[in-house]
Amino acid sequence: MTDSTSGQTTATERRPGKRERLVAAATQLLHQQGIERTTLADIANAADVPPGNVYYYFKTKDDVIAAVIEAHAQQIRTTLAFIDAHHRSPKSRLKAFVREFTAQSEIVAQHGCPLGSLCSELGKRVNQSDLAAAELMRLPIEWAQQQFRSLGRRDAHDLALDLLAAYEGSALLANTLADPTVLSRAARRLNHWIDTL
């Protein structure tokens, strides 16, 4: 926010710190370019941080990836908490969750699902021993399971898996076909499915 009398930036809108800028840049670049094609220099450049400063915050690329995973996990928690706070019934919460799927359909059609793509890439790495990325799938599955359980469904876990699989599969197809409408059509089918439960 700019103070109109002085043209100065106010305290409420300060530029994020270097670490925050590096994590934000890494999040975007890992989604757009993938893990292997993204270098620490790319991240520093996108964050407008001198390349040497990256090592003050992150010793290795794996440290950056861990920070990106945590940023994604925090965003998921924030989104789910927002849905919980603004929707009263399990069905309306599930439908709000489905709306989140389609909110970035253009980006998903270009680069794939940010979470699914990252988890898939990390799963293929030879030295991948850290299972932190699995949390990115566990969080929404466990949340959806609670919603289905609140609807009295004994098969809540299976339904939660079906919901996330439907989205991730649709995201893969939207990306492969470069067609964002794949996600909007999937969202309509999922909403109808939720209504029938």
Residues 6 or more apart in contact with residue 83 via CB below 8 angstroms:
93, 96, 97, 100
For residue 7, tell me if it sits in a domain: no
Q: Mean per-residue pLDDT for 141-162?
A: 98
Dihedral-angle region of residue 48 (phi above 0 means left; psi in -120 to 50 means alpha; beta otherwise): left
Query: Does residue 31 sit in the same domain as residue 128?
Result: no
pLDDT at residue number 90: 98
- In the predicted structure, residue 6 carries a pLDDT above the cut 60: no
Q: Is the domain of 88 the same as that of 161?
A: yes
User: What percent of the chain clears pLDDT 90, i.e. is strictly above it?
Assistant: 84
- The percentage of residues in the chain with a pLDDT greater than 70, rounded to a whole number, is 90
The pTM of the whole model exceeds 0.85:
yes
Q: In the predicted model, what is the mean pLDDT of residues 10-18?
A: 71
- Does any domain span residue 183? yes
Is residue 6 a part of any domain in this protein? no
Q: How many domains does the chain have?
A: 2
Instruction: Identify the domain containing residue 84 by its residue range.
Output: 72-196
